[in-house]
Amino acid sequence: MGKNLDKTYDPSKVEGKLYSKWMDKKYFHAEVDKTKDPFSIVIPPPNITGQLHMGHALDNTMQDILIRFKRMQGYSTLWQPGTDHASIATEVKIVKKMAEEGITKEDIGRDKFLEKAWQWKEEYGGVIVDQLKKLGSSCDWDRERFTLDDGLSKAVEEVFIKYYNKGYIYKGSKLVNWCPVCQTTISEAEVEHEEKSGHFWHIKYPIVGTEDFVEIATTRPETMLGDTAVAVHPDDERYQDLIGKKVILPLVNKEIPIVADKYVDMEFGTGVVKITPAHDPNDFEVGLRHNLAQINVMNDDGSINENGGKYQGLDRYEARKQMVKDLDEQGLLVKVKDHTHSVGMHDRCKSVIEPMIKQQWFVKMEELAKPAIRALKSGELKFVPERYGKIYLHWLENIRDWCISRQLWWGHRIPAYYCEDCGEIIVSKEAPTKCTKCSGTNIHQDEDTLDTWFSSALWPFSTLGWPENTDELKYFFPTNVLVTGYDIIFFWVVRMVFSSMEFMGQVPFDTVLIHGLVRDSQGRKMSKSLGNGIDPLKVIEQYGSDALRLTLMTGNAPGNDMRYYDEKVEASRNFANKIWNASRFILMNLENIEEREVAIDELTPADRWILSKANTLVKDVTENMEKYELGIAVAKLYDFIWEEFCDWYIEMVKPRLYNDDDDTKAAALWTLKKVLITSLKLLHPYMPFITEEIFTFIQDKEESIMVSDWPEYKEEYNFQTEETEIELIKQAVRSIRNVRAQMNVPPSKKAKVFVVSEKEEIRNTFEKGKVFFQTLAYANEVLIQADKENIADDAVSTVIEGATIFMPFAELVDIEKEIERLKAEEKKLQSELDRVNKKLANEKFISKAPEKVVNEEKAKLEKYSSMMKQVKERLSNLSTK
């Protein structure tokens, strides 16, 4: 062929070059092609504030594997890319940058702020896209979308108005997650629960008309300003006579009722709990059941409001200190106990979330959830692994109305307008010039924006052009599989499903492939606070993208977390080098050789064996990938390429390659090339760069492996007889190697090998496979016979299936030299034994040395004694030879 690969594989020289080639050739671009079946995936849109982390790397590697696989199978494949505007994350970054310049949002106003936001997006928003490209992601970048682009914004407006007109969207006061620092509602997805050290304050609530009191325990004393009841369990015998009575709320000095509710845990604390409906989600539900007042005691910044009496204006934590002091002075503080509990934190600014009653926009979920539940139960939608379907159902069957408004400027502004003259709410795409009720013109738009998840819920169809009925929407929707982590089943998957069922009348994808988290080597979640994060880009820089991708898929099982070890990525790099070196060897032997097609009857048993193995591999890998068993598929590929192809077949055929007179040399070269190309194609989805580089060197009929045909199983390459024969020879070679290793026989020491079997077919197999024993089993001669005739009594033997293998002892070992070596070893071991025994016989050492040190010496004694026993036995055996 006249050319060869570089001596060593350098990913930094290859990956960028090949990715540019793929982009220039438009290999990633998807077209509506009615002659092909479509296959499509939508990318979980990364935040424009994001940097590539290991979770992104795993998620996108899995998607890329599936897309590349289906592309090679002949599908018209679309991997739809895009990014999310990330309302809170982006606004936090821009506000922080403005603060460094000494200005606030309010200083410049909404329009100027949005100008800055768009400038920030243009400057930084493409960073993660460039990083995904370094990973090898074969998205159709020509179709890249952004959740705030005109088309997606139009889709969001359309959905909001349709929901509103149908009665699914309403404005009302409910308990929400409130961030006092960012001063906006946030979703459950943005709440991180952290274990924090705190306290339980035990407080007396006097019972009205008596000298008695009930004792409650709280971790948030400041919220008692908003208590509207205390509760006990209806079956708690201790408090039966108190149900219906009242207590005096300390510090506020007002009477509140004692109610009975099954929410109370009789076994926890005192069995009496304070109920603060405006500041706790469970208390909110209790309050609804008992028609309790909802008293909000906090301002938006977390300070105490006018309902807090003397504590008004204090920060919530300052108020806590003052209230605890006052309770103590009034004799109402019983005790303070240390307590570790889970605290909800805003994942962006790291402040403690405050549950608060707020007037917000909500989506009614009861009716929307029903079709999404049916989709899973009917099999229209499935999860891999199946167990995650239960989590999906749990969320949907216990769903609450969805708070969709955010007190932010960056995002989709709510298309609702208010008439200040009559209070009418007008929901419209265009700003109305007059009120539809009173014809007044004093109208202003709602200041809030929509929850980011509102737009990403439409992602599978809005990215394809909806609400327009585009050709892409008709062809690529519904998409095929969604790949995502188990942590956002509710926040994103559920919302995409019910949105699609509502507006498209069908599921957005038929399969949800769930993956776990990438943890550190100790099994901990990667986080900034622990400082244990691994930067994928640094791994790529050091080892290459292929090595990282293979590492992330090795041992990967759907839904399960995996651990990242440096050793794993080094092993992946070594695998890449193994393939590279094997390919160089094959190319070197193909140089200046006129290649030709080889007929099946020209193939030797070894050729047929490896072809049959590769053929089975094609079937197995294809089936595994179709079932999303990506980790199993790549494990089979790894084992085949490293062991069967490189370590066995290439070694088997070397004598044929080095002998120009061997009339099977052409068959060996043809088989080597064919199996290598098949292996490269199967491996390409996992390791796209190295497979492409080798593929373009090893053949010149196709310009890229990316658009080559996926291998298919062929019955004519099913050679079971040859597989059985070669596997038997491999078993024999392994046995010989094991014997030699146990006896410390160097590879340079050749020995005669006898294969004894009563079965003629086994003897015939070994006759045909004699050639392999020279290079693989270090044999200088192979004799095959039916009995033990002419085999020395001292021959070493090993048994395999249907045969016994013998090797003359004298040919394996130089007895005099071995005795000399063993005597030296005996002397060395005796010296060590004398030293250890002396130490252990020393009473001062035993009494004064740490127990660990003494145990270490005892362990040495046991080890050296065992080694000495083996040496003496070996010497005894040799002296009788």
**Which residues participate in the annotated binding site for ATP?**
528
Q: Distance of alpha carbon 516 from its chain centroid, rounded? A: 4
CA 487/CA 459 separation, integer angstroms? 18
Phi and psi (nearest 5°) for 170? -145, 165
Question: In three state form, how does the secondary structure of 175-203 look?
Answer: EEEEECCCCEEECHHHEEEEEEEEEEEEE
Phi and psi (nearest 5°) for 439? 65, 10
Q: Which two tokens stand for residue 431?
A: 């700003």
CA 298/CA 407 separation, integer angstroms? 17
Distances from the Cα of 223 to the Cα of 284, 288, 328, 352, angstroms: 13, 18, 17, 14
- Of 694, 702, 666, the C-alpha closest to 587 is 694
Give the number of residues written for the chain.
Answer: 881
CA 89/CA 111 separation, integer angstroms? 19
CB neighbour burial string for 518-537, b if at least 16 within 10 angstroms, e if fewer: bbbeeeeebeeeeeebbebb
CA angle (399 as vertex; 393, 401 as ends), nearest 5 = 150
CA 824/CA 737 separation, integer angstroms? 26
CA 213/CA 440 separation, integer angstroms? 57
CA 683/CA 691 separation, integer angstroms? 7
Residues 424, 418 contacting (CB under 8 angstroms): yes
CA 785/CA 783 separation, integer angstroms? 7
In the chain, what is the straight-line distance between the N-terminal and C-terminal CA atoms, in Å? 56
CA 23/CA 182 separation, integer angstroms? 41
CA angle (841 as vertex; 836, 845 as ends), nearest 5 = 85
- Of 633, 660, 650, 651, the C-alpha closest to 583 is 650
- Of 356, 263, 344, the C-alpha closest to 307 is 356
Strands 76-80 and 518-519: unpaired
Which 8-state DSSP code applies to residue 800? E
Strands 562-563 and 518-519: parallel
CA 490/CA 394 separation, integer angstroms? 9
CA 680/CA 675 separation, integer angstroms? 9
CA 156/CA 147 separation, integer angstroms? 9
Q: Which residue has the tokens 């290859």?
A: 14
The contacts of residue 520 (CB under 8 Å, 6+ apart) are: 526, 530, 532, 534, 563, 564
Q: List residues forming the annotated binding site.
A: 528
Residues 399, 176 contacting (CB under 8 angstroms): no
CA 348/CA 340 separation, integer angstroms? 23
Distances from the Cα of 666 to the Cα of 385, 593, 598, 648, 794, angstroms: 47, 9, 7, 19, 43
- Of 36, 43, 23, the C-alpha closest to 463 is 43
DSSP 104-156: -HHHHHHHHHHHHHHHHHHHHTTHHHHHHHHTT----GGG-EETTSHHHHHHH
Sign of the C-alpha dihedral, residues 700, 704, 705, 710?
Answer: negative
